[in-house]
Amino acid sequence: MIYIIGYGAMAKAIAAGLKGKMDFAVVGRNMEKLKKFASEFECEYFNLDGFDITDKVILLTVKPYALQEVSMRIKGEADVLISILAGKSLVELERIKAKSYIRAMPNVAAKYGASTTAITGDAEAKELAENIFSKIGSVVWMENDDEIDMATAIIGSGPAYLALIAEAFCDGGVYIGLKREKAVELTRGLFKSFAAIEDNFSSLKDSVMSPKGTTAEGVFSLESDGVRGKIIKAVKTTYEKSKQI
């Protein structure tokens, strides 16, 4: 049994991915939100105040700034504390007592069982964490806190950046004359197709980019506008921000 502390967007995404695969319960302060969450995902719910975490597997999904408040409202020592709080190091997580600690960074695709989750922490809890997060997608073991913060910039925030790119593809399609629904359908198909390709990224680009072709013209336009550098900058600034939380 996993006890999920928090009922926000990521908690719901993880719960949706775990539903029917693993038992879980939700813990929080707002009874109305707790009941709604429990009804939607068919699980038990518990009030955060005075909640005893002793020997339990806890999945912490609250906002990073709420870590201290949560630590003051619960009691006991967890078996394993798993945190998806961006920027909160393993040392900072020790505000909540536990035998073992894991940091994880999944993404909203957990809802569809398609998350890529980066994890790090105590070796004795690695297998448990991998078992949990493999049920909502794939898992990548990172060596330390800093690597998790780096992963956050790609795995955690990346879907938002790709959403901007997807919107741009749709808008581009509409601009050249496609109906919006067709542009959306084609863009979704593009992302689905790309995700299935296992080729090296450079090799993939080279295989599509023929001499004086349409793709070559588009790549020239993107490179002229510095799109690649802007994406690298977005990853860099996201990582730097995670170190400030």
Q: What is the pLDDT of residues 110-141, one digit of tens each?
A: 999 999 999 999 999 999 999 999 999 999 99
- Provide the pLDDT confidence category of residue 245 given band limits of 50, 70 and 90: confident
- What's the half-sphere exposure (Cβ side, CA atoms, 13 Å) at 127? 1
Could you say which architecture CATH assigns to the domain 2-143?
3-Layer(aba) Sandwich (3.40)
Whether 129 contacts 82, CB under 8 Å: yes
Q: Kindly indicate whether the domain formed by 158-242 is annotated with CATH number 1.20.1370.20.
A: no
SS3 229: helix
The pLDDT, as a whole number, for residue 244 is 84
Identify the H or E element spanning 97: none
The pLDDT, as a whole number, for residue 126 is 98
Q: What percent of the chain has pLDDT over 90?
A: 98
Domain ranges within the chain, ordered by starting residue: 2-143, 158-242
The pLDDT, as a whole number, for residue 64 is 94
Q: What percent of the chain has pLDDT over 70?
A: 100
| DSSP state for residue 3 in the 8-state scheme | E
Q: How far apart are the C-alpha atoms of 185 and 42, rounded to whole Å?
A: 33
Residue 46: phi and psi, rounded to 5, are -140, 145
For residues 62, 33, 14, 42, the Cα torsion angle rounded to the nearest 10 degrees is 150
SS3 69: helix
pLDDT mean across residues, the chain: 96
The pLDDT, as a whole number, for residue 24 is 98
- Provide the pLDDT confidence category of residue 148 given band limits of 50, 70 and 90: very high
Residue 89: phi and psi, rounded to 5, are -70, 165
Q: What is the pLDDT of residues 14-29, one digit of tens each?
A: 999 999 999 999 999 9
